[in-house]
């Protein structure tokens, strides 16, 4: 039923020939980059090739999992979390223990959010449901975690004289860094909050667009999209809270002093 509706939405089944024709748009992007000397030709070519290989491989893997191999759902989610941890850790390389922080933050966001949805029976315990929703939570939590870690590290380094003055007044590390921790949490959560504010007015998000293209009614698509947006808000809150707390601990010593590398960061 879904396939038939999806085909009708595109005027027929989408084949690899159609995908190849869509590469005309990539060629246009390459032309613009070359014409204006942006220097993204190599990146565009690599991104295009990687997206094709990765999505094709994932498609076959998911097809295998969905065909009575639901026990592999945990493995699929674990691979997603592992990849997100490596990516987030690399983005915040200046933070000591960035990868463990990312692992804790993303895992809490994914498991906590999915756990609530499953416990309240909002979603079914099905690989076809858990994996796509889990991937959305993991991806969003990855970005939030990276933003919180990077912003907190940068702000404490840039404002270290004020932070050290607060510490000299006998304030504990948590209190001394509180203003910048709040800013970091806000930075990490704000993109999702802003997206939620304008959803439907500026853009039709992915889940809603996919359902409409598949032939579902707009009202049904809206209900799913609301679930996704609220899910991402909760997941990002979990990720921001955990990453903010753990990053703060890593940037101060047990004696409530900024770590040495942070004090030596150029202004």
Mean pLDDT over residues 45-57, rounded? 95
| Residue 258 clears pLDDT 80, i.e. is over it | yes
Give residue 151's pLDDT.
96
Give residue 260's pLDDT.
83
Give residue 8's pLDDT.
45
CA 68, chain centre distance (Å): 28
Q: What are the tens digits of pLDDT across the range 62-78? A: 999 999 888 999 999 99
Give residue 265's pLDDT.
60
Q: What are the tens digits of pLDDT across the range 135-191? A: 999 999 999 999 999 999 999 999 999 999 999 999 999 999 999 999 999 999 999
- 204 — pLDDT class (breaks 50, 70, 90): confident
The encoded tokens of residue 10 equal: 């595109």
| Residue 9 clears pLDDT 60, i.e. is over it | no
Of 185, 157, 181, residue with least CA distance to 94: 157
Q: What is the mean pLDDT of the chain?
A: 90
More confident position, 10 or 217: 217
Query: How would you write 88-125 as a 3-class SS string?
Result: HHHHCCCCCCHHHHHHHHHHHHHHHHHHHHHHCCCCCC
DSSP tag of 204: -
Give residue 5's pLDDT.
46
pTM, full prediction: 0.87
Go through the chain and tell me how many residues it has: 267
Give residue 11's pLDDT.
59
**Share above pLDDT 90 across residues of the chain, in percent, rounded to a whole number:** 73
Cα-based distances in Å from 211 to 8, 46, 47, 227: 13, 30, 26, 13
Give residue 267's pLDDT.
54
Q: What are the tens digits of pLDDT across the range 186-202? A: 999 999 999 988 887 77
């Amino acid at each position: 039923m879904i396939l038939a509706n999806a085909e009708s939405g595109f005027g027929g089944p989408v084949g690899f020939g159609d995908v190849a024709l869509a590469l005309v748009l990539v060629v246009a992007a390459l032309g613009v980059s070359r014409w204006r000397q942006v220097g993204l030709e190599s990146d565009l070519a690599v991104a295009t090739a990687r997206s094709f290989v990765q999505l094709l491989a994932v498609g076959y893997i998911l097809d295998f999992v969905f065909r009575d191999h639901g026990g592999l759902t945990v493995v699929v989610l674990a691979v997603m979390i592992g990849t997100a941890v490596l990516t987030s850790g690399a983005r915040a390389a200046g933070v000591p223990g960035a990868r463990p922080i990312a692992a804790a933050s993303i895992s809490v966001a994914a498991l906590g959010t999915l756990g609530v949805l499953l416990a309240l029976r909002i979603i079914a315990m099905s690989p076809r449901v858990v994996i796509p929703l889990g991937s959305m939570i993991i991806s969003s939590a990855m970005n939030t975690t990276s933003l919180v870690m990077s912003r907190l590290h940068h702000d404490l380094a840039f404002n270290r004289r004020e932070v050290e003055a607060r510490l000299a007044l006998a304030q504990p590390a948590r209190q001394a860094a509180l203003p910048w921790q709040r800013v970091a949490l806000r930075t990490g959560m704000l993109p999702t909050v802003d997206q939620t504010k304008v959803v439907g007015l500026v853009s039709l998000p992915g889940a809603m667009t996919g359902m409409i293209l598949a032939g579902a009614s707009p009202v049904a698509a809206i209900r799913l999209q609301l679930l996704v947006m609220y899910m991402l808000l909760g997941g990002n809150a979990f990720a921001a809270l955990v990453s903010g707390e753990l990053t703060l601990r890593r940037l101060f010593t047990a004696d409530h002093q900024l770590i040495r590398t942070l004090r030596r960061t150029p202004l």
